[in-house]
Chains A and B, each alone.
Chain A
Amino acid sequence: MSLPPHSAQLLTSEGLDQLLRALRRGGYRAVGPTVREGVIAYEDIDCVEDLPRGWTDEQSGGHYRLRRRDDDALFGYAVGPHSWKQFLHPPRQRLWRTRGGGDAVQIEREPPDGPPLALIGVRACELKAVAIQDTVLLGGAYGDPHYRARRADTFILAVNCTVAGGTCFCVSMDCGPNVATGFDLALTELAAAGPPAFVLQSATPAGRKVLEEISHRPATESEIAAARARVQHSAQHMGRQMPAQNLPQLLLRNLEHPRWSEVADRCLACGNCTMVCPTCFCTSVEDSSDLRGQQTSRTRRWDSCFTIDFTYLHGGSVRQSTRARYRQWLTHKLATWHQQFGSSGCVGCGRCITWCPVGIDITEEVSAIRASDPG
């Protein structure tokens, strides 16, 4: 969706600072990008000064490095190792605990915790990933109440990408770089020698409400055109491309393709790709009890289809080989996800490529299978 001229506003970095403070005043816990230990991480932020001013990133297979920009841009980088799922679908979630032992045992479910979240700087691919996790975790006969509570209260400040990362391919997956739906406010950063400035769109009453508390002015035609041109530029400079036509059919007729063994020789089965992937949702549960066995509790935690335990049944695991586990990951993302949830499970964010210790590249693996597809 392009920026509708009638509603587009211009926001300065002071205006953005006011916006962050207004959200916090409104009771939100604001989380957004910040530089931490050499990466762009998503953490609690208070004000504009916490954002990664003047940084960009260099990304390729198995490689990530922050570099200085020659301007003061606040959003001049692509996505890092974190994704919003760590806040919405956290790595550990207690589900319930017992009170009283023996005859008096009672089960108490864990209440939803924490203040509502304001997610700052959510990219188009990430909005799509959140929408996909909504389908997975809230669709069907049973919704997850913890996820539902967090999502119901979440405020989203989206950002159109003006810089494409070296491993990005959202254009191939039809997921970006323009934000389309699922946000309250969206920014497009303008090129500037001086302090950063943004063209801003509002999409919801919640978004318009915070705007009342901060200073902004209508954006001019030329500012809107400049913003649009920057996003178009990033669309034309994707680091990767996915040959995405008829992917489910291609992969499902190639379950015995020799490429699976070839990639398994390189894959360490470390599960990094599933941890950084913004759509991977798999979990396991752990029970614990105090020493006297009087109080017990259950905690849900992220799990990965790359672990040998993932398919453990009495007698052994179903997916013993790395070949089978890599095949599960890739075919789930790109093929069976369509059957299960009506969309691809990949949004083209490139994280799995960047954070693979040996640089395995999902787009390259698909291309290799396509190149020798017997049809």
Chain B
Amino acid sequence: MHARATDPMVPRVLRVRSRRRDGPQVWTLQCDDGANEPPGFAAGQFNMLTAFGVGEVPISFSGDPARPQRIVHTIRAVGAVSSALTRLGAGAALAVRGPFGTGWPMSEAAGRDVVLVAGGLGLAPLRPALYQLLAQRAGYGRITLLYGTRSPQEILFRREIDSWRKLTGVMIEVTVDHAMPPWHGHVGVVTALIPRARFDPRRTLALICGPEIMMRFAAEALGAAGVASEAIYLSLERSMKCGIGRCGHCQFGGLFICRDGPVIRYDRLREPLRVREL
């Protein structure tokens, strides 16, 4: 018997088309998919990216789901693999497996107010959702992006954020942990922005991505503002070595975050998130 063409652990080759710096230690790679029929992806899903000879890591899609032939990833260089990936220039080869995991519940967003809460690099996995919402602006209620990051220098996708601000019915609030002049925006945690946002809690869908502690506080604050747990979604991060529910690394209680997540409804997370070191 021979291995079938579809071994989920064997990646395919991608070529970097362009590389752009998006902040300190953060680069966005646009890649061309060599596959005849690019598999496409849902906002919120991720790929397993390989830097040859170094290793493989999970990285969310940060591009537009309507353009599946262009694979876009925004990567912070924090260790061996992510650093090697961010050093790849135009024409360089990397390898990819995916898409894996659950996406943001975009079909549930129809007709509702949508609140997106992003912390740091958590904006990257939310960008595909924003693209999708803004492409069919009339299909949704008010759209609010609350974005917190460490410093003004670290604000991702600055030009795009400025262009989104100009759209009607779209509210964008950015806050930073630390700032010096000339910053005259918000300073403080992103959850402090929730009371400023205008949304009808009974018809709101909330999408949250960022550090776990920030997501917990944001979900609690949204709950306090009247949004039901069933209308709040979080994107979790765990160690991942396979992306397909096989290696065991990403377990969180009974959940495999790679397969049952990364995007999971808050009512399934509220209890386990309270257990330390689960």
Contacts and interface: CB of A to CB of B under 8 A. Distances in A.
Interface size class of B (residues with CB under 8 A): 35 or more
A53 interface: no
Contacts, number: 128
B275 A142 contact: no
B53 A284 contact: no
Nearest to A141: B244
B78 A256 contact: no
Contacts of B237: 313
A296 B3 contact: no
SS class, residues of chain A in contact with chain B: mixed
Contact of B249 (A140, A142, A310): A310
B195 interface: no
Given A283-B241, A298-B56, A312-B239, A109 B3 contact: yes
B277 A112 contact: no
A144 B242 CA distance: 11
A142 to B, nearest CB: 4
A241 B144 CA distance: 57
Interface stretch (B9-17, B132-140, B179-187): B9-17
Interface string A73-101: 00000000000000000000001101000
Contacts of A146: 3
Interface residues of A, number: 57
A336 B247 contact: no
A283 B246 contact: yes
A322 to B, nearest CB: 10
A219 B95 CA distance: 60
Interface stretch (B123-131, B148-156, B251-259): B251-259
B13 A107 contact: yes
A336 B242 CA distance: 19
Contact of A282 (B7, B82, B248): B248
Nearest to A281: B248
Contact of A142 (B8, B11, B50, B254): B8
A98 B52 contact: yes
A303 interface: yes
A333 to B, nearest CB: 12
Interface string A105-116: 111011110000
A287 B56 contact: yes
Given A293-B53, A310-B239, A142 B244 contact: yes
B196 interface: no
Interface in A264-302: 281-285, 287-289, 293, 296, 298, 300
A289 B52 contact: yes
B254 A284 contact: no
Given A136-B246, A140-B245, A149-B3, A256 B238 contact: no
